[in-house]
């Protein structure tokens, strides 16, 4: 009977700790084991915790950003989240960002980080080599003007004309780039400035590759255009100003944007409630005629003639 009772009774789980009575001189008695329920009666439980007994690995300290530090990094106010795994810029949770404590989202701007310990690496094939291969000289044709002035039309017509002449060109269009590279930017003044800054850097790379880069952007602020000009200090920045009146552009209104702006459905629209700063010293200015405006092919021919005279279409 006793054997059967012992066989039916549940066997206690081994705890890995020796009872106090059987602990030898080399073995310390354990008064608490992580596999057994903790006793809450004694006041010395803190001393007998798993961490103090060396049974648990200590947690690595978590890095937290003080509010002032986070503000210096982002340049923007800090947002605290109710859910610790909040969505951060780019759709990732804050836990995926190293150095950001849970509960705080740090929004990084592309212009905030200051790179250090970086060095320019020169390649054996340079701009001159590429220009000899293409039998042309790299440059940036920057077309600016109001919406509806014909910038995209001129850019595409010019690109086609250069192609027929065997010259390599590439068009950077404002709306097209806002579908990809600049899709995170709006039309506030600071976003417009960042939009043009990025485009200027991309256009510089195309020119360095030996291409005729045709950039078609409203680019309403003179300072932003001059910053792009400063990126190409060898005179390879050609500013083309489509000097069309607001009345003409609004009458065309190919995208219906002027109508929306007049109705107050679009805010900050260039020419309506946001200024356009006309160039002061552009290389080419194309004006509307007294009777008819110049055709796209006529405007493109004017730009091609300038490029030929300045030696951009040959070595």
Q: Pull the structure tokens for residue 76.
A: 């923007």
Tokens 């947690």 correspond to what residue? Answer: 59
CA distance 220 to 242: 12
Q: Please check whether residue 212 is in contact with residue 155, taking contact to mean a CB–CB distance below 8 angstroms.
A: no
CA angle 96-100-102, nearest 5°? 80
Distance separating alpha carbons of residues 269 and 200, to the nearest angstrom: 22
Q: How far is CA 51 from CA 20, 55, 57, 211, in A?
A: 21, 6, 7, 66
* Residue 219 appears among annotated catalytic residues: yes
Q: Helix or strand or coil: residue 79?
A: strand
195: left (phi over 0), alpha (psi -120 to 50) or beta: alpha
Contact of 219 with 225, CB cutoff 8 Å? yes
For 313, the token pair is 């279409």
Pair 185, 191: CB distance under 8 Å: yes
Rounded to whole angstroms, the Cα distance separating 12 from 34 reads 15
In angstroms, the CA 120 to CA 125 distance is: 15
Residue with tokens 């003639």: 305
Q: Is the dihedral of CA 105, 193, 255, 259 positive or negative?
A: positive
**Catalytic: which of 147, 152, 216, 219?**
219
Catalytic machinery residues: 219
């Amino acid at each position: 009977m006793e054997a059967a009772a012992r066989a039916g009774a549940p066997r206690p789980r081994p705890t890995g700790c020796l009872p106090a009575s059987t602990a030898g001189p080399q073995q310390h008695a354990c008064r608490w084991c992580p596999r057994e329920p903790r006793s809450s009666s004694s006041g010395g439980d803190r001393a007998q915790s798993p961490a103090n007994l060396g049974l648990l690995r200590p947690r690595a300290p978590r890095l937290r950003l003080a509010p002032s530090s986070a503000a210096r990094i982002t340049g923007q106010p800090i947002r605290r989240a109710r859910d610790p795994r909040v969505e951060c810029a780019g759709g990732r949770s804050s836990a995926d960002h190293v150095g950001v404590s849970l509960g705080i989202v740090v929004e990084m701007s592309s212009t905030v980080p200051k790179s250090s310990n970086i060095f320019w690496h020169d390649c054996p094939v340079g701009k001159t080599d590429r220009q000899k291969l293409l039998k042309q000289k790299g440059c940036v044709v920057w077309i600016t003007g109001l919406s509806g002035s014909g910038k995209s039309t001129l850019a595409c017509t010019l690109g086609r004309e250069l192609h027929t002449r065997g010259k390599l060109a590439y068009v950077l269009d404002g709306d097209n780039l806002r579908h990809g590279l600049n899709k995170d930017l709006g039309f506030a003044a600071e976003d417009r400035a960042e939009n043009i800054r990025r485009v200027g850097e991309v256009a510089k790379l195309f020119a360095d590759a030996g291409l005729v880069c045709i950039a078609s952007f409203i680019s309403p602020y003179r300072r932003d255009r001059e910053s792009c000009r400063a990126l190409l200090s060898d005179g390879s920045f050609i500013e083309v100003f489509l000097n069309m009146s607001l009345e003409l552009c609004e009458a065309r209104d190919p995208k219906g944007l002027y109508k929306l702006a007049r109705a107050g459905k679009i805010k900050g629209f260039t020419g309506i409630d946001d200024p356009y700063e006309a160039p002061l010293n552009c290389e080419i200015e194309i004006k509307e005629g007294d009777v008819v405006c110049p055709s796209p092919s006529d405007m493109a021919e004017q730009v091609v003639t300038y490029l030929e005279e300045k030696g951009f279409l040959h070595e």
